[in-house]
Structure 1
Amino acid sequence: MPENVAERAVAEQLSDVRPELAGRYGAELPDARAAVLRRLWRGLTYDPLPWVARRSGGELELTDGRRLSGPVCDPFATDAPVKAVELDGSVYAHPAELMRALGFAGFAAELAGSVASLALSRAGAPAGPGPWEQRVVDGHPYHPCCRYRPGFSVAEELAYAPEHRPVVRLALAPVADARVTGEWPERLRDGGRVLLPVHPWQAEHVLAGRELQGGFDARPLMALRTLEPDAWPGVHVKTALSTRLTSSVRDISEYSVRGAAVVSGLLADVAGRLDGRLHVTRTLAAASGGSADLAAVLRESPSVHADASAGEEAIPVAALGRRDPAWVAEFARLALPVGLRMLELGVALEAHGQNLLAVVGPDGRPRRLVYRDLADVRISPARLAAHGIPVPPLTGRIVTDDPVALRRKLFGSLVSGALGPLAGSGPALAAAVGPVVDALPPSADTEALRSAELPVKALTLMRLRDEPGDAWAVLPNPLR
C-alpha cells in the first residue's frame, strides 16, 4: 500500500486515468522500494560521502557517531533487492524514510518519486517482450533515482515513457533565426524558418504559448526524450526535455549544438580505423532556437548499421539483461579492445548500456558494436595528434588530455555501465571478463584497467552535493 505522499499521489491519479492498474501498482510497491533501496545502499556503501567516517563490510560509522548497517553489498549485483537497513537500532525498509532520518529531505523526496514511478512502470508495462528499445522497465541498474521523473503526471508517464510503448506526437516550433549545424532537412523547414521538433511535455510545461505547428508521430526510445519517427526510417530525433531525469536536466545546450557536426565527423573518422568493429551513429543535424529549452538533434538510427536481410539487429546493451558467462566473455572480447583502441587514438566513449549497442546475428552472438549519443565523450587532442589525426576546433568540457579523466569516462561506463549488468554480479563479472582483460596486449591504459581500483560514477553523491558535474567513487576491481 502507498506509504508516502509520492506513492499516494500516483495511486490517486491512477484511479482516475487507469483504474484497472491500481491493484497491480499497489502490489508492485514493496518490490520497488527494495529495488531502489538496493541502489541506494550501493551508493552509501561505496560513494565517498563526507559524512561517512568508516566502512567495514555492511557496517558504516557516520561522522555524528551513528551506525548504519545492512547486507554486504556487491556493487555489480542487479537482482539482489535490499529489504531493509538499520540506523542506530531503527529499521528502514523505504529508501526515502532512511534518507529523511539521515537528514536529507530533498533527496528523500526524489527517492520517494523514484519508488512510485518504478512501481508504475512495472504495473503499466505491457505483457510480451516488445521492441528492444522499450524493454528496460526498471531504468538505470545502479542509480537510486532510476525512475525519477519530476514534473510528470501519471497520465504523462503512461503517454510518454518508453516502457509503456506509446506513440508520441511531436509538434514543430518555427524559428526564424535558428542556429543550425549540419544539413537540416527540407521536411523540417517552413520557408525561411527552421521547424524544431518539440516533445509534448516540453510544449505544455516549458514552451506554453509558443507558436507550434502540426508535427509527426514517433515512438520513444530508451532515453525517453529521443524518439523514432514512424514515417522517417533511419532517423532518431533527440528533443529538449527541461526536467531532471536520474542525474541531469535533459535540455540541449548551445555548446552541444555548436559542436555536434565536428564531434560527429571526428568520431566517425576515428571509428573508421577499427576495421568495421565499431560504427558511430552520425549526427545529421542539430538546431537551437536560442536556448537549451528549444533545440533538437537529428541522428542516424543504429539500425542502419545492422543488415536486416542477414537477420542482424542492433540491440542496446541495457536491453539484453543478464547474459550467460560465455556470451558476456564473447562480448567483452569485442567491446574491451574496441574501447581501448578508441581511447588510445584519442576518444574516450561513454559506453554504458544505453549508448552502446551490440549488432547480433540470427544466432544471437555479438558481431560488432554501434555507439550513439556523442554529447558526453571525452576527446584528447594530444592523443589524436600522436596518431596523425587532425585535431578539430573544439573547446570546453569534452576536451581533455588528462589520462585519469579519459580512463574514468571509458572504464566507468563500459565496465560498470555495460559489462556489469550483463554479468549481473561481481563474481560473474570476474569469471567472464577477467580472463579477457588478462589477455589484452600491454599498454598504459590496459594496466590502469587491471589496477586494484575501478572508477565508477558516484551516483548517490552526485545527487547529494550542490555542484554540477561528475563525481567518482572507486570499487575493488573484479577484473584485476
Structure 2
Amino acid sequence: MCHTAAEQDVTRELAGIRPELTSAYLAALPGARAAVLARLWRGLVHEPLPWIATRAVGSEGVTLHLADGRRLHGPPSDPWATGTAVTALQLDGIPYDHPARLMTALHVAGGEQFAAELDHSVASLALSRTAPRPAGPPVAPWEWEQRSPDGHPYHPGCRSRPGFSATEQLAYAPEHRPVVGLRFAPVTGAVVRGPWPSQLRDGDATLIPVHPWQAAHVLNGRTLLPGPQAHPLLSLRTLALDTQTHVKTALSTQLTSAVRDLSAYSVDCALATCEVVERVAYRLDGRLHIARTLAAAGAGTPDLAAVLRQSPYVYAGTGEQVVPVAELPRYFQAHTSRERLARITEFGRLALGVCLDLLALGIALEAHGQNLLAVLDADGWPRRLVYRDLADIRISPARLARHGLPAPPLIGRLLDDDPSVLRRKVLSCLITGALAPLAGNAATLGTLLEAATRDLPPSPDLHALRTERLPVKALTLMRLSQQGDQWALLPNPTTIERD
C-alpha cells in the first residue's frame, strides 16, 4: 500500500509516541479508505455537482459522465445506506482506492483542499478504529458518547480533524476515552448570561473554560489557569464536567463541515433561546425534555467563550437509560430483527411526532444523532426524547403567534418564518442524522417512515414528508464550494400511497 501524506504523518508520529498502535493503525487503513470512499461516492452520485453532466444507472453500477468527457464508474449507491464500503472507483478505466487521490485526479474547483480533508478523514478514521471497543455497557453516562469510532455516517469528512496531530486525537477525541484537563481564561468585563457559578469566578474576572487544543493553538499568548478534568462527548468540543453539567467550549478548528467556534451572538442568545424552546416544549405533554442552558460567557470573540448546559442524562428515570440517537443502531443490535424493527419504528413515531408537533408550534429542531437522545425503558423501548444544543435551531415568530405564544426576545439568524427553511431544517437533520442511520438502507427507511407516520395528525409539513423529495445537506458540494449550507433532494423512500 502506498501511503498518503496524512497516513505517513500519523504512522511516523505513532512510532514515536505509541509504537504498540502502529500495526493496528496500518491494518485499519484499507477499511478506512473504503469507508470514506463510500461516503464520497454517495455525494458524487446524488448531489447536484456542476461538473457532472449526466448519471447512468445500470445493472453493474453507476456511471457518471463528467463535463470534460471523462467517465467515473462505481457500484450501485443507496443514498440512505450506512456501513458501506467502496474499495475502488474507475476513472476512465483507472482504479482509485483512496478518496483523496481520486479527488485530486478529478481536477475540479475546490478539489485540492477537499482532497487534503479526505486524506485527513481516512488517516483519522483509521486511528479512531484502533481504540479498543468497550467490553460492557456504560457505567458513567458520558461513556455512551465514546463508543463509536466512525463519526458521521454520510459525510466524507467524517473524521477530518485538520490541525489535530495523532497525539492530540488520542488525548482529546471521545472514541479514545481520555480525561481532558481544561484550562481557565480569566476575563474581566466578560459578557455573561445567566448565573455564572461562583467557582468559575476570581474576583472581578470570569473564568471561562478553554479546551486544551484551543489553549495551545489559538490562545497560546494568553494567561491561562489550570481547570477541571472533563470527559469529551460526541461533539468533541463539548465535555462532561460531571454527571450533572456539560460545557461547550470554543474550538476554532474545522470539524467535519465547518469551523466550530462560539459567536458572541450564540453567547448573547443562549438563555433566551432556551427559555423560548422550553415554553413551547411544555405543550408536548412530557414527550420532550430540553437539556437546559445554565449560563454562557464570552470575551466578545468567537475563539473565547463557553456555554454551560444541563446533562441530558439527568432525565433517566428508574430503570431507564438515556442514549444518544447516534448510538441507537448499535444498541438495538442486541435484539432480533423483528424486535429491532419494532423499536426503531416506535422511535421514528416518537421522533417524527415530537419534531413535527414542535415545528407546527414554531420551533425547528436540528435533531440529528448528536443533539437528540432517547429515553429508553428497561426493555429498550423509546419513551421520551431529550434535546440539547439549541445554537442552530430556527424559530418562527409567525407560527408562535398563531398558537398564542409570545414573540421571542431575539433577533438575527435564529428567526425565520419561511416554511421551506423550517421544514428543511427539521427533516434533513432528523432523517439523515437519526432515522436513516437506524434504518440502514432505503427499503427499511421507507417501511419505517410509512409505519411511523401512519397515525400522525395531518399537516402541511407531514404532507411534504410523505409526498416530496427529501432535502439533505449536499455535504460534498459544500466542501468543494466552501459556501455553507447547500442542498440535494433525494428520492423519497416511503411506500406511502401518494395523495
Same fold (TM over 0.5): yes
1:170 corresponds in structure 2 to 182
The answer to whether the 8 A contact 1:32-1:115 is kept is yes
CA displacement, residues 108-159 of structure 1 (integer Å, 9 cap, x when unaligned): 1110110000000001345425521111210000000000111111111000
Q: Structure 1 residue 299 and structure 2 residue 314: aligned?
A: no
1:158 alignment partner in structure 2 = 170
Q: Which moved more, 1:434-443 or 1:107-116?
A: 434-443
CA distance in 2, matches of 1:353, 1:112: 25
Q: Look up the match of 1:247.
A: 257
Q: Unpaired segments of 5 or more residues in structure 2?
A: 333-339
Match of 1:238 in 2: 248
Alpha-carbon distance between aligned partners in 2 of 1:51 and 1:399, rounded to the nearest angstrom:
35
Aligned to 1:40: 40
2:268 and 2:299 mapped to 1: Cα distance? 12
Distance 2:104 2:278 in 1: 47
2:94 maps to 1:123? no
Residue 69 of structure 1 deviates from its aligned partner by 1.3
Counterpart of 1:431 in structure 2 is 447
How far apart are residue 199 of structure 1 and its match?
0.4
Question: Are residues 1:109 and 2:116 paired?
Answer: yes
The aligned residue for residue 454 of structure 1 is: 470
Residue identity matched to 1:226: T
Unpaired runs of 5+ in structure 1?
Answer: none
Q: In structure 1, what is the Cα distance between the partners aligned to 2:65 and 2:290?
A: 46
* 2:343 counterpart residue number: 327
- Aligned equivalents of 2:354 and 2:2: distance in 1? 47
The SS at the match of 1:290 is coil
Code of the residue aligned with 1:305 in structure 2: it is: Y
CA distance in 2, matches of 1:11, 1:2: 13
Counting matched residue pairs gives 475
Distance in 1 between residues matched to 2:445 and 2:98, nearest whole Å = 29
TM-score, length-scaled by structure 2: 0.93
Aligned positions of 1:6-155 closer than 5 A: 6-57=6-57, 58-103=62-107, 104-129=111-136, 130=138, 131-155=143-167
Q: Whole-Å Cα distance in 2 between the matches of residues 330 and 391 of structure 1?
A: 34
Contact 1:2 1:26 in 2 (8 A): no
Is the 1:125–1:137 contact (alpha carbons within 8 Å) kept by the matching residues of 2?
A: no
Which residue of structure 1 aligns with residue 488 of structure 2?
A: 473
Distance 1:335 1:166 in 2: 32
Residue 200 (str. 1) matches residue 212 (str. 2): yes
Shift of 1:2: 5.5
Partner SS, residue 272 of structure 1 = helix
| SS class of match (1:430) | helix
Quote the offset at 1:440 in angstroms: 2.2
| CA separation of 1:127 and 1:338: change in aligned 2, threshold 3 A | closer
Deviation readout 1:11-49 (Å, 9 max, x if unpaired): 000111110010000000000000000110111111111
Alpha-carbon contact 1:332-1:419 (below 8 Å) kept: yes
Aligned equivalents of 2:399, 2:324: Cα separation in 1:
29
2:335 maps to: none
Which of 291, 301, 326 aligns to 1:318? It is: 326
Residue 283 (structure 2) pairs with residue 279 (structure 1): no
Does 1:413 pair with 2:429?
yes
Contact 1:77 1:425 in 2 (8 A): yes
CA distance in 2, matches of 1:187, 1:259: 23
Partner SS, residue 155 of structure 1: helix
1:447-473 deviations in whole A, cap 9, x for unaligned? Answer: 011123000111111101032x21111
The question of whether the paired residues in 2 share the 8 Å contact of 1:126 and 1:164 is answered with: no
The corresponding residue for 2:336 is none
2:252 is paired with a residue whose SS is: strand
The whole-number CA distance in structure 1 between the counterparts of 2:73 and 2:299 is 50
Structure 1 counterpart of 2:415, one-letter code: V
Checking the alignment, whether the CA contact within 8 Å between 1:326 and 1:432 is kept in structure 2 is no
CA contact 1:199–1:239 (8 Å) conserved in 2: yes
Per the alignment, residue 217 of structure 1 pairs with 229
The structural deviation recorded for 1:267 is: 0.6
Give the letter for the 1:86 counterpart: Q
Give 1:435 deviation, angstroms. 2.2
Which of 344, 349, 361 does residue 360 from structure 2 map onto?
344
* Deviation digits for residues 215-270 of structure 1 (CA, Å, limit 9, x no counterpart): 1100000101100014xx31100001110000011110011011111100011111
Q: Secondary structure at the match of 1:217?
A: strand
Out of 119-128 and 353-362, give the one that drifted further: 119-128
- How far apart are the structure 2 equivalents of 1:2 and 1:185? 53
1:262 and 2:262 correspond? no
